[in-house]
Chains A and B, each alone.
Chain A
Amino acid sequence: MQTAINRKLNFKKNAIFLILIPTFIYLIIFFIYPIYLSFKYSFTNISLYDISHYTYIGFSNYVDLFKSHGFQNSLYITLLFLLVSAIFGQMFLGSIIAYLLTITQKYFKLIVTTIILIAWATPQVTAGIMWYSTLSYIPTGTINFFLSSFGFKSINFLSTKTAIYSIMLANIWIGLGFSILIFLGGIQNINPSIIKASYMDGTKPFTRFFAIIFPLLKKSIITDLLLITLFTLGTFTLIYVLTAGGPAGSTNLLTIYQYHTAFSLFSLGFANAIGVIIILIAIVLSTIYLRFIKVE
């Protein structure tokens, strides 16, 4: 049936798919290949002292890793950090704050949103330095300065016990803006008549949020959860500048642990094994989230 003209038209129609090729080549060389490399090197004893000679040592990096206290500690801290900072702090609090913002006066909403967004827009290096000076105990940082001038006792926010909460706080501070924007957009998309109807019913505000609005935000929630968890899992700069993983490893997130293993202990094989574990966590989490999208 197809005539030559038709075939030519068909080709013309499909020629546009060639545009995909350069992009995919670029992605494969600089993005996908390093993913492969990190798996490959994780099975070797490659070291920074000599990167051209290494031998394959099977799973022994992983075995050593799961035996080491440092790694167990780091894994625990990372998961706790994800749970508190990303899921509770940014996603959950973020959705509530976004809802509260929608019921306030226009200019008030603008000012508060802007302040939260400024934090989000702050480059992480600056944020790390700022938070260090804000939380510092010795020398007296901003918070302790105000605490002591109001007659309260100074608090060491960066001690082995408290530093983990400090980095969660700093991370919520920098990430909240992103969630709020997503939720503000989501709430706008809700059919106003539904919210109006809930007012008519005389539903209490909190019930209204959890029973009516929260479920309608499902799409925003999943998008937000997916991106926020992955961003938080990859957090390095802010925490590295703020605590460098210390004191005594109490804020040693997997990323920082990986960096130290590679560039202080010079064990690149080990560091790649840590990297692979980060990647696997990311894959597991995103598969779970993506399943929700498919259901929809």
Chain B
Amino acid sequence: MENNPDIKPKSKLLTYIVIVIMIAAIVGGGVVYYYSTIHKSSTETISIAAPTYYSSSSTWENFVNNATKSWQAAHPNVKIKFIGPFGASSEGNYYTKLDLLTSSKSTAPSVMLEDMFYTATYQHEGILAPLNSYVNSSFFSNTYSSALGQMTVNGTHYGLPATVTDTLIYYNISLLQKAGVLSSGNTTWQPTNWTQIMNAAQKVNSTSTLAGVTPLNIYEGVRADEASSFTGFEGLLYGTGHGLYNFTNHKWYGNNPGLNETLHFYKTAFSKKYATSALSSTPYVTVGQYMQKGKLAIGIDGSWMYGYQWAPGAQNPINNFSKYIGVAKIPTINGGGNGFNTMVGGWGWAMYNNIPTSEKPLVASFMMALDNTSNQILVNEPHNGLAGGLPTAKSAVNNPGFSKLVPGASYLDTFYAKLLKYGSYRPPVSGYPTVSSALQTAMSDVVSGHESVSSALSAYDSTLVSSFGASHVQKMSGSSPSIQPSPAYSNYQSNKNIQTFFYGYFTDTSIFTYNYIFW
């Protein structure tokens, strides 16, 4: 023993034992704590799921508890539990995790906040409970139809809308004035086609006093995830009169003139150094700070930016916002069609279908409390889970809390709300996350100069073919370059259409039966 340098038992042994005991004590304490918090017995539990990548789960927990304080007081036997799902660091990730949670009764939340465009998919899977018989009709009649329609299938309501957001252009007023895009004293800029955006960026780029300023930000790449697909790419794409999905034959576009034009816009913007990939692949926070600090002139971004970034009390508040940063609508490619486009997304509360029928009225009453007009305003307030969104209740505008939504710049609220009529939506089809991911790859290949637009498009096409099968992908067929109302939007006008294309889509597909996992 004494000769062996590896084993020195006497002095060190004690240290090890002490450390091991310490760890054991900490863990032991943890176990006790854990079970005391998780396994409190109560007669009923309503579990809630919401996306924690938007804001932390404690924010959600606080919101839910504040919003339903009086409801909980009236129902002392009901325990409210927030279950995440956590670890979802992006939107696509949240869907994946929610799918898995809802695949089993034991893990499924009773109430979930879901992206509206997923309603039809989930409804088809049988995950969502119809709410017509549990929720007062006055609740529905008080909700804007543009929001409610997205959560309604065949006249049956499957969710209570909580928020909508849209996308727009923000610009730094003084930078545009210095570049000569705006005459001094003028603060309003509204491009009416893509060329005007490009020209403005070009002017900023060629102004020598503005060296070091990034003229344009439009999200791209895998790292920015849905920000690149939804906020960046699709905002332009749907302004070409083309979309991602053909609703008449239920096929994804492997190629179409709109995809081509939009990728060309990206190529021009990045190859001429109007936009830079280093900025466009960073999180919203950085982009917001750049515009605020006068390092970024024009940014295509979401209506949530103000609430997250610039409102009083947010991370980097700006006083007298309207003096520094202006807002504009995103024009269509050549000003045709409606003239403008915005990507509308929204979230709503939905009920899990497989909870016992006897519990449904209780859960529905909880949801109504959670989504009443003042709580719709609360959840959209700065610091809360859906900060920067707009409430969907018609009565919200008369609520005294409404002005709190966009504190310091209440005109923005009206601006955001007026945008909604130009709205387009992501195709509410289960394969969307795959398509979104393929789009991101195509964007970054073009932006980095690795591939030409046409080869990026053919790679996009082959990813779609290998994911969905050739029979679900439509190659370019002729061209219809004129601007029409975007197909997704017109389909939303009629719920019957949604129903039809869904059943059509699902009955003729073999890969995406998207069923439960039985075992």
Contacts and interface: CB of A to CB of B under 8 A. Distances in A.
* Chain A directly contacts chain B within the complex, with at least one CB pair under 8 Å: yes
A260 B92 CA distance: 11
Contact of B441 (A159, A249, A263): A249
Which 8 A-B residue pairings sit nearest by Cβ, starting from the closest?
A248-B448, A264-B437, A248-B444, A160-B448, A138-B278, A137-B278, A138-B279, A244-B223
A29 interface: no
Given A160-B448, A246-B444, A264 B92 contact: yes
B61 to A, nearest CB: 24
A160 B444 CA distance: 10
A24 B391 CA distance: 58
A243 B445 contact: no
B487 interface: no
A266 B441 contact: no
Nearest to B455: A69
A201 interface: no
Interface string A225-253: 00000000000000000011111111000
Chief secondary structure at chain A's binding surface: loop
Interface residues of A, number: 34
Contact of B221 (A45, A156, A247, A263): A247
A296 interface: no
Interface string B456-467: 000100110011
Contacts of A260: 222, 437
A242 B445 CA distance: 19
Contacts of B221: 246-248
B511 interface: yes
Contact of A49 (B290, B445, B514): B514
Interface stretch (A50-58, A85-93, A170-178): A50-58
Contacts of A64: 466
B205 interface: no
A139 B289 contact: yes
B281 to A, nearest CB: 6
B183 interface: no
Interface of A: 45, 47-53, 64, 68-70, 137-139, 156, 158-160, 243-250, 260, 263-267, 270
A264 B433 contact: yes
B517 A51 contact: yes
Contacts of A48: 96
A69 B96 CA distance: 26
30 contacts: A45-B511, A49-B511, A49-B512, A50-B515, A50-B517, A53-B513, A70-B459, A138-B278, A138-B279, A138-B290, A139-B286, A156-B278, A160-B277, A160-B448, A160-B450, A244-B223, A246-B221, A247-B221, A247-B223, A248-B221, A248-B445, A249-B222, A249-B441, A264-B434, A265-B437, A265-B463, A266-B433, A266-B434, A266-B467, A267-B467
B403 interface: no
A247 B467 contact: no
Given A53-B515, A248-B450, 19 more contacts: A45-B511, A47-B512, A49-B511, A49-B513, A52-B518, A52-B519, A139-B286, A156-B278, A160-B449, A244-B222, A245-B222, A246-B223, A246-B281, A246-B444, A247-B223, A248-B444, A260-B222, A264-B433, A266-B467
B430 interface: yes
A250 B277 CA distance: 13
Interface core residue of A47, A249, A266, A267 (most chain B CB under 10 Å): A266
B438 interface: yes
A47 B277 contact: no
A150 B447 CA distance: 31
B282 interface: yes
Contacts of B463: 265
Contacts of B281: 246-247
A137 B450 CA distance: 21
B486 interface: no
A247 B444 contact: yes
Contacts of B450: 160, 248-249
B499 interface: no
Contacts of A247: 221, 223, 277, 281, 444, 448
Given A52-B518, A244-B222, A248-B445, A265 B96 contact: no
A53 B514 CA distance: 10
A245 B512 CA distance: 27
A157 B93 CA distance: 28
Given A139-B289, A265-B467, A248 B447 contact: yes
Contacts of B517: 50-52
Contacts of B447: 248
A47 B511 contact: yes
Nearest to B450: A248
Interface in B42-69: none
B276 interface: yes
Contacts of B222: 244-246, 249, 260
Contacts of A158: 278
B233 to A, nearest CB: 15
Contacts of A70: 441, 459
Nearest to B277: A247
Interface string B488-519: 00000000000000000000000111110111
A139 B282 contact: yes
Interface string B279-301: 10110001001100000000000
A261 B278 CA distance: 24
A51 B103 CA distance: 11
Given A139-B289, A244-B223, A248-B444, A265 B279 contact: no
A2 to B, nearest CB: 37
Interface string B179-214: 000000000000000000000000000000000001
